[in-house]
Amino acid sequence: MTRMPGAAAAAIAGADFGPAVVPCHVAIIMDGNGRWANAQGLPRIEGHRQGVETVRRTVRHARKRGIRFLTLFSFSSENWSRPKEEVTFLLGLLKMFIRRDLAELDSANVRVRVVGEREGLGEELCALLDEAEATTRSNTGLTLVIAFNYGARNEIVRAARALAAAVAAGELAIGDIDEAAIAARLDTAEIPDPDLVIRTSGEMRLSNFLLWQAAYSELVFDAVHWPEFDDAAFDRALEEFAARDRRFGGLSVRAGA
């Protein structure tokens, strides 16, 4: 593999090549909306509203960089513990995003997938999520994975139940339960594991995000709050990823290492 430092590449005729090693799947914990809003003297929900603009920008930039899968952690199974008005606002924001952006995403050849538990989201939102997935099912560009009402432990519990049901029905032998059988029953079935997980706002934790899938992901933390995560911040994370030495428990494959 030929590696060219991003800065050197960008210097060629002012072209914008981006980093030399582009991750296939980037997953982002979009954190810091509330703190961003507070710092501006605004209510927390204004941070969420502004966060949607960052989502649009991030999807565009991911497409530009040739990323194949982009997962955005939008609402966790633990976020129900927030004040009711904030929860209602976040559910409404997802509805609005799909209503306003689905046609554009579709025309940009983006395939939408939604992961997380559907129960408790209400009929209207569930129908919109189904519509987003169905409309874009055969698109071949970026796959945008929206993690909504998502919690990794909840996802693993549901997968365990599905496995137990298959065993009870005589469709699966206990000895056939392997990593692939578990992965196939997670919400992320057929989505490759994230190569890079980015979290904004300076917190350095996973908060129940993709615990199974992120086993060997590279983690990048940025102090910037989500509403201010721009293309330059995204590129910084991609550059950091490109400089990492992934070993997967083996030995370095880098020349001379």
29 binds ligand IPE (CB under 6 A): yes
- 253's CB contacts (< 8 A; 6+ apart) are 247
32 binds ligand IPE (CB under 6 A): yes
Residue 58's alpha-carbon distances to 26, 70, 88, 114, 215, in angstroms, are 11, 9, 24, 17, 24
Binding residues: 31-36, 44, 48, 76-78, 80, 82, 199, 205-207, 218
Amino acid type, 46: E
Beta bridge partners of 253: none
* Among the residue ranges 25-33, 141-149, 230-238, 246-254, the one whose residues contact Mg ion (CB under 5 A): 25-33
* Residue closest to ligand IPE (Cβ): 34
**Binds 3, which of Mg ion, ligand IPE, none (CB < 5 to 8 A, cut-off by type)?**
none
CA 203 to CA 76: how far, in whole Å? Answer: 16
31 binds Mg ion (CB under 5 A): yes
33 binds ligand IPE (CB under 6 A): yes
Applying the rule CB under 6 A, the residues between 150 and 209 that interact with ligand IPE are: 201, 203, 205, 207
Binder of ligand IPE out of 69, 75, 229, 241 (CB under 6 A): 75
Residue 217's alpha-carbon distances to 28, 153, 247, in angstroms, are 12, 18, 11
Cβ atoms within 10 Å, residue 70: 24
Evaluate the CA torsion angle 38, 42, 48, 52 in order and state its sign: negative
246 binds ligand IPE (CB under 6 A): no
Nearer to ligand IPE, 19 or 34 (CB): 34
Binding residues for Mg(2+): 31, 218
**Binds 33, which of ligand IPE, Mg ion, none (CB < 5 to 8 A, cut-off by type)?**
ligand IPE
222 binds Mg ion (CB under 5 A): no
Q: Mind giving me the DSSP string for 52-118?
A: HHHHHHHHHHHHHTT-SEEEEEEEETTGGGS-HHHHHHHHHHHHHHHHHHHHHHHHTTPEEEEES--
Tokens of 172: 């699966």
Verify whether residue 31 is a known catalytic residue.
yes
149 binds ligand IPE (CB under 6 A): no
Amino acid type, 65: R
* Among the residue ranges 70-78, 128-136, 158-166, 175-183, the one whose residues contact ligand IPE (CB under 6 A): 70-78
Helix (H) or strand (E) holding 232: helix 231-242
Interface mask toward ligand IPE for 81-120; x: CB under 6 A: ---------x------------------------------
Applying the rule CB under 6 A, the residues between 203 and 242 that interact with ligand IPE are: 203, 205, 207, 226
Active-site residue numbers? 31, 79
